[in-house]
């Protein structure tokens, strides 16, 4: 297991000079991480990171920065709404994915990662988010993006999230079956499959996802959760209710050298979260 971190969580509370791409990458390596989840707009200021900005030169600069620090780019994030109901806005969103896929191929990123949106412009959970119509809308928006990934020889990975259109393992399988491409992969974030109503049955929910999606999982996100006001709040690994034994056993048995990136860490607890997971992994 190669443990990584969201790069924008590194040096997040530091002065601007320590929040550059280069400074964050160096710090991530210093803290013992092997890979990163990279959201360009959150670590490089002054550009929109649309088709215009995502040049070959930018991609190669990013590749050099991470090669110098011996870090993989596990995920190049492009978390936009591929189920946007406005056709013109959807085309603009898709073009941003095309640019990210080109950049991912040139910088050697593992996948371009995305969540699965909502059927409204606000990207908010509503009464239609879990409907079949919403799922079909997302698949239509995703299909040309996957075709672009095929042309560039890279991959798109969708992340099931309870609050979004693809909210469980069966919905993810429906997308995989509809698109049918080896360039469509899965980011498994176990906590994102949970909500207040199923958190007590989390071993079953997460186990179901690992069983059904195993062949398609490219990256794992590792975080924790705590309960606040009847809702779940994400937290750093090892600081909440999660038991990672089953997840890590699955990764150790079936996913050698998988990229596993931490989420919801702070400057103060990122190394502690990494060490906690590595210790547990080592006992399995």
Residues 235 and 4: their CA atoms lie apart, in Å, by: 16
pLDDT in tens, 90-108: 999 999 999 999 999 999 9
> Cα 130 vs. chain centroid, distance in angstroms?
20
User: Which residues constitute the domain of residue 213?
Assistant: 2-283
Mean pLDDT of 209-230: 97
Which residue do the tokens 């038991």 mark?
243
Across 39-53, 63-77, 102-116, 215-229, least confident range: 39-53
User: Which tens digits make up the pLDDT trace of 263-277?
Assistant: 999 999 999 999 999
Compute the distance between CA of residue 97 and CA of residue 109 in angstroms, rounded to an integer.
14
> What confidence tens digit (pLDDT) does each residue in 8-65 have?
999 998 999 999 999 999 999 999 999 999 999 999 988 788 888 899 999 999 999 9
- Tell me: pLDDT of 185 over 90: yes
Confidence class for position 134, pLDDT limits 50, 70, 90 = very high
Give the whole-angstrom CA distance, residue 88 versus residue 85: 9
Could you give the CA distance from residue 168 to residue 198 in angstroms, rounded to a whole number? 12
Pairing of strands 72-77, 111-114: parallel
Number of Cβ within a 10 Å radius of residue 68: 12
Give the CATH number for residue 152: 3.20.20.150
Find the mean pLDDT for residues 248-269.
97
Check residue 158 and give its pLDDT. 98
pLDDT of residue 52: 84
Query: What whole-number distance in Å separates Cα of residue 41 and Cα of residue 43?
Result: 6
Mean pLDDT score, 129-139:
98
Over residues 235-263, the mean pLDDT reads: 97
DSSP for 27-65?
HHHHTT--EEEE-HHHHS-S---STTT--HHHHHHHHHH
Per-residue pLDDT averaged across 199-226, rounded? Answer: 97
Count of domains for the chain: 1
Output the pLDDT for position 187. 98
Q: What is the pTM of this model?
A: 0.96
Percent of the chain with pLDDT over 70: 100
The pLDDT of 257-262, averaged and rounded, is 98
């Amino acid at each position: 297991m190669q443990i990584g971190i969201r790069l924008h969580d590194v040096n997040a509370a530091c002065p601007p000079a320590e929040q550059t791409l280069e400074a964050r990458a160096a710090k991530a390596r210093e803290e013992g991480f092997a890979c990163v989840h990279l959201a360009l707009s959150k670590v490089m200021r002054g550009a929109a990171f649309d088709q215009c900005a995502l040049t070959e030169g930018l991609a190669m600069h990013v590749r050099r920065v991470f090669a110098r620090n011996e870090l993989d780019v596990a995920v190049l994030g492009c978390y936009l709404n591929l189920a946007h109901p406005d056709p013109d806005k959807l085309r603009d969103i898709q073009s941003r994915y095309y640019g990210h896929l080109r950049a991912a191929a040139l910088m050697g990123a593992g996948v371009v990662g995305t969540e699965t949106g909502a059927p409204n412009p606000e990207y908010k959970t509503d009464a239609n988010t879990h409907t079949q119509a919403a799922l079909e809308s997302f698949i239509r928006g995703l299909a040309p993006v996957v075709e672009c990934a095929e042309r560039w020889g890279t991959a798109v990975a969708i992340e099931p999230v309870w609050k979004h259109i693809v909210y469980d393992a069966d919905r993810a399988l429906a997308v995989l079956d509809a698109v049918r491409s080896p360039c469509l992969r899965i980011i498994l974030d176990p906590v994102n499959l949970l909500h207040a109503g199923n958190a007590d049955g989390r071993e079953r929910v997460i186990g179901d996802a690992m069983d059904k999606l195993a062949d398609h999982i490219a990256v794992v996100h590792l975080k924790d959760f705590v309960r606040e006001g009847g809702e779940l709040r994400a937290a750093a690994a090892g600081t909440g209710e999660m038991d990672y034994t089953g997840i890590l056993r699955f990764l150790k048995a079936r996913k050698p050298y998988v990229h596993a990136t931490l989420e919801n860490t702070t400057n103060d607890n990122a190394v502690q979260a990494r060490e906690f997971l590595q210790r547990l992994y080592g006992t399995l």
